Amino acid sequence: MSSHCQMVMGPAGTGKTTYCRTIQEHCAAVKRTVHIVNLDPAADELEYEPAFDVRDLITVEDVMEELELGPNGGLIYCMEYLMENIEWFKEQLEPFLEGDYLLFDCPGQIELYSHIPVMKEITKQLQRWDFRVAGVYLIDATFLAEPTKFISGSLCALSNMAQLELPHVNVLSKCDLAEDELVESPSPSCSSLSCHVETREKQQAELYIYIYLFIISIFHVLNLIAM
Ligand SMILES: Nc1nc2c(ncn2[C@@H]2O[C@H](COP(=O)(O)OP(=O)(O)O)[C@@H](O)[C@H]2O)c(=O)[nH]1
Ligand SMILES: [Mg+2]
């Protein structure tokens, strides 16, 4: 029987770890078992008991110290090291191959999804081990209050979806911090965008509107979920 998993992704601080813990607690309340795996080698304190933890293999802190890399380079090194030690990963997954459900709490650095193929390789490897993998991409709801941030956040989500080629769900996080009407209708209206850009150069304003319309058409294809 196949196991299932979610790759929980999104920029640092959007609430990935909180999402994983909340989903696990919810599942426990409805008597379903969900395991969380920490795949973030830069994580500090975890709010859950992980099924296993990439930091048992490697941590960003050690890499930065030993190889004198910065935080971004260190994180990329860690994820590539995980791929090179894929047998370790497989061993850790061994107890969860019979119809289990896992949440992978992923690192937030965008380079891992847009610049280098490492996260795609990890998901492909999970699929080869007969996991049914879904991408869950968190977007901070407060980021959507400004049209320019909406465009930026949406393009990041889109890029992630295109790169990983997974069934993909966008989740709005931190809805308690956003205005109610934003949560009910997450995309800003075209008129609010025109208003925002009216002080800018006409050409730039038009470009924003084209990008906006493009994103709206993409969101007709994507499912946008508020939580
Ligand atoms: N108000 C509010 N804060 C949240 C929510 N989700 C996460 N946070 C806070 O945002 C911060 C970053 O969350 P975390 O789960 O560590 O983000 P990660 O870096 O994506 O894993 C923490 O201080 C959380 O308590 C939420 O839904 N509402
Ligand atoms: Mg985290």
Ligand nearest to the CA of 14: 1
CB of 173 within 6 A of ligand 1: the answer is yes
pLDDT in tens, the chain (227 residues): 899 999 999 999 999 999 999 999 999 999 999 999 999 999 988 999 999 999 999 999 999 999 999 999 999 999 999 999 999 999 999 999 999 999 999 999 988 988 889 999 999 999 999 999 999 999 998 887 777 788 888 888 888 998 999 999 999 999 888 876 566 665 555 555 555 555 556 666 666 667 777 776 766 665 554 44
Nearest CA to ligand 1 atom 19: 13
CATH number of 3-184+222-226: 3.40.50.300
* Distance between CA atoms of residues 41 and 217, nearest Å: 36
C-alpha Rg value of the chain to the nearest Å: 19
Total residue length of the chain: 227
Q: For strand 223-226 and strand 168-173, is the pairing parallel, antiparallel, or unpaired?
A: parallel
Nearest CA to ligand 1 atom 26: 174
Ligand nearest to the CA of 16: 1
CB 102 within 8 A of CB 51: yes
* Distance between CA atoms of residues 126 and 120, nearest Å: 10
* Distance between CA atoms of residues 17 and 152, nearest Å: 22
